């Protein structure tokens, strides 16, 4: 059975799909049995593709992208081994939906896996910014990937 990871941001068009496709790239490169997806805490963009600036940032860095936004549902907790919030607001929203302690234990902040995060664990929302803001988000996501891959490898071994 694959290890399942999901990323959660606000509208599921900027940060979480970016993180999804960066992690997809790395687990595919390593041949890990991991399913990766993403969603948002809000439903404003359900059915939309990823923001064009997200897609452009991913493509500039050599990543693929294909995405349809969706909203995280409370009954999805059992689907995932790891639920990664992109900022503290998403973390609080997910925790408030968690049905039990087991579900709560699956929720983490993405930047917890970046040893250089230095206490600031939020990935800022680039939506109202420009190219540099999207590139910064991509850098933050990529910085967390090595630690996240360690967590995933440990989870696969434990399964």
| Residues annotated catalytic, as ranges | 9, 15, 125
Residues of 115-138 as b/e, b for ≥16 C-beta within 10 angstroms?
eebeeebbbebbbeeeeebbbebb
Which SS3 state, helix, strand or coil, does residue 108 take? Answer: strand
- C-alpha 21/C-alpha 92 separation (Å) is 24
User: Encoding tokens for residue 20?
Assistant: 């999804």
The Cα angle at residue 146 between residues 145 and 150, in degrees rounded to 5: 110
């Amino acid at each position: 059975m694959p290890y399942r990871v999901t990323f959660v941001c606000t509208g599921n068009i900027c940060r979480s799909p970016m993180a999804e496709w960066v992690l997809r790239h790395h687990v595919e490169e390593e041949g890990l049995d991991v399913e990766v997806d993403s969603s948002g805490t809000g439903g404003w963009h359900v059915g939309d593709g990823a923001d064009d600036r997200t897609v452009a940032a991913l493509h500039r860095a050599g990543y693929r992208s294909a995405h349809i936004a969706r909203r995280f549902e409370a009954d999805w907790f059992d689907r995932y081994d790891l639920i990664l919030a992109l900022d503290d607001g998403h973390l609080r929203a997910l925790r408030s939906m968690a049905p039990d302690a087991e579900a709560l234990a699956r929720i983490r902040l993405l930047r917890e896996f970046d040893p250089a995060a230095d206490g600031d664990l939020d990935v800022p929302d680039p939506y109202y910014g420009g190219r540099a803001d999207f590139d910064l988000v991509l850098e933050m996501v990529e910085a967390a990937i090595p630690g996240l891959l360690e967590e995933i490898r440990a989870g696969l071994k434990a399964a």
